[in-house]
Structure 1
Amino acid sequence: MSRIDETKDFIPVRFAVLTVSDTRTIGDDKSGQTLADRIAEAGHILAARAILPDERGEIADQLRAWADDPAIDVVLTTGGTGLTGRDVTVEAHRDVYEKEIEAFGTVFTIVSMQKIGTSAVQSRACGGVANGTYLFALPGSPGACRDAWDEILVWQFDYRHRPCNFVEILPRLDEHRRRK
């Protein structure tokens, strides 16, 4: 449920989208395009977009690079969250996280259950924070990307959403790194 406080101004957030796939290209990346379109439609900024193969080290390196980039606030990955041997996106994310947002996976499962029933148990969607940047791993289907964005992320990345949202705490994610 969304509760938007219309007295507050919208604050655009800078996103990077990473598609994890051994076979997709920018031309046929429906999931990455779904996220890119929704980011723009919501009034946010698509700061970067890339495709990488299902290689844990390469994924983690890209996550770290974007988490270190002051022009990026949020990284969304799509693909590689399943159970097969090549699905290593979740492990790459967890290699990078300083803190995991455990409830994201739970809420995503609840949303997915409404759409695909018990097949939702096959997703390992997750979220976390690294170097003051939010990182979320979403499944590789356009439907799952739509569900994650439309039901969770669009609201949490709207500064006007009440009672709380990810945008309002964004400046404090790395406060432990600052000198006192």
Structure 2
Amino acid sequence: MSRINETRDFIPVRIAVLTVSDTRTPDDDKSGDTLVARLQDAGHSLAARDIVKDDRGTIADCLRAWCANPEIDVVISTGGTGLTGRDVTVEAHRDVYEKEIDAFGIVFTHVSMAKIGTSAVQSRATGGVAQGTYLFALPGSPGACKDAWDEILVKQLDYRHKPCNFVEIMPRLDEHQRRK
């Protein structure tokens, strides 16, 4: 089972938080606040934070800009992962991904099933990689953000987590761009 290897030093990563919403403001962005508090409590740094409208092109443009920023290692978005017509975050993420982390959505669904039962099928949480940056799209509820962070991301974004984690392979995410 997973565990923390205390012989390894913790390596903080730089995480950007993107809230996707037509109605949220910095004053009432509870899901974004939840993610910021958790990532900072874990020892990581907040590299950027923004709120954008539910627009596929706008979301994808923000993701691409953050992926191109060498000061950002991970982008976590919240909101727009549902099934309604305005929910386009997953499509925007997939427009940017070079590789999708298929199991992220599966594991998130498993975690959600334990909390909200079959309502978990309405979420389309997703993860992927682009330009050496991890990207994760979470539902827009604080509870879903807590679940994704506490059950998946806090472990996978900890270099000490064994048997493996996202941080230890970060230097190799864009190795295909360095090959000749």
TM-score (norm 1): 0.99
Which residue of structure 2 aligns with residue 70 of structure 1? 70
Which residue of structure 2 aligns with residue 54 of structure 1? 54
Q: Report how far residue 132 of structure 1 moved.
A: 0.2
Q: Report how far residue 179 of structure 1 moved.
A: 3.6
Query: Residues of 1 paired with 2:63 and 2:26: CA distance?
Result: 19
Query: Residues of 2 paired with 1:105 and 1:25: CA distance?
Result: 27
Contact 2:112 2:120 in 1 (8 A): yes
Give, as a single letter, the amino acid of the residue that structure 2 aligns with 1:56.
R
Where 1:67 maps in the other structure, the secondary structure is helix
Where 1:27 maps in the other structure, the secondary structure is coil
Query: Residues of 2 paired with 1:120 and 1:138: CA distance?
Result: 12
Q: Report how far residue 34 of structure 1 moved.
A: 0.1
Which residue of structure 1 aligns with residue 168 of structure 2? 168
Query: Residues of 1 paired with 2:16 and 2:162: CA distance?
Result: 25
Where 2:65 maps in the other structure, the secondary structure is helix
Where 2:3 maps in the other structure, the secondary structure is coil
TM-score (norm 2): 0.99
Q: Report how far residue 70 of structure 1 moved.
A: 0.1
Contact 2:20 2:51 in 1 (8 A): yes
Where 1:26 maps in the other structure, the secondary structure is coil
1:24 to 2:31 alignment = no
Query: Residues of 1 paired with 2:175 and 2:33: CA distance?
Result: 33
Give, as a single letter, the amino acid of the residue that structure 1 aligns with 2:82.
G
Which residue of structure 2 aligns with residue 83 of structure 1? 83
Task: Give ranges in structure 1 of 5+ residues lacking alignment.
Answer: none
Q: Report how far residue 2 of structure 1 moved.
A: 3.7
Task: Give ranges in structure 2 of 5+ residues lacking alignment.
Answer: none
Query: Residues of 2 paired with 1:8 and 1:20: CA distance?
Result: 36
What percentage of aligned pairs have identical amino acids?
80
Alignment of 1:92-171 (within 5 A): 92-171=92-171
Which residue of structure 1 aligns with residue 42 of structure 2? 42
Q: Report how far residue 150 of structure 1 moved.
A: 0.1
Query: Residues of 1 paired with 2:75 and 2:8: CA distance?
Result: 25
RMSD value over aligned CA atoms? 0.7
Give, as a single letter, the amino acid of the residue that structure 2 aligns with 1:52.
V
Aligned residue pairs, count:
180
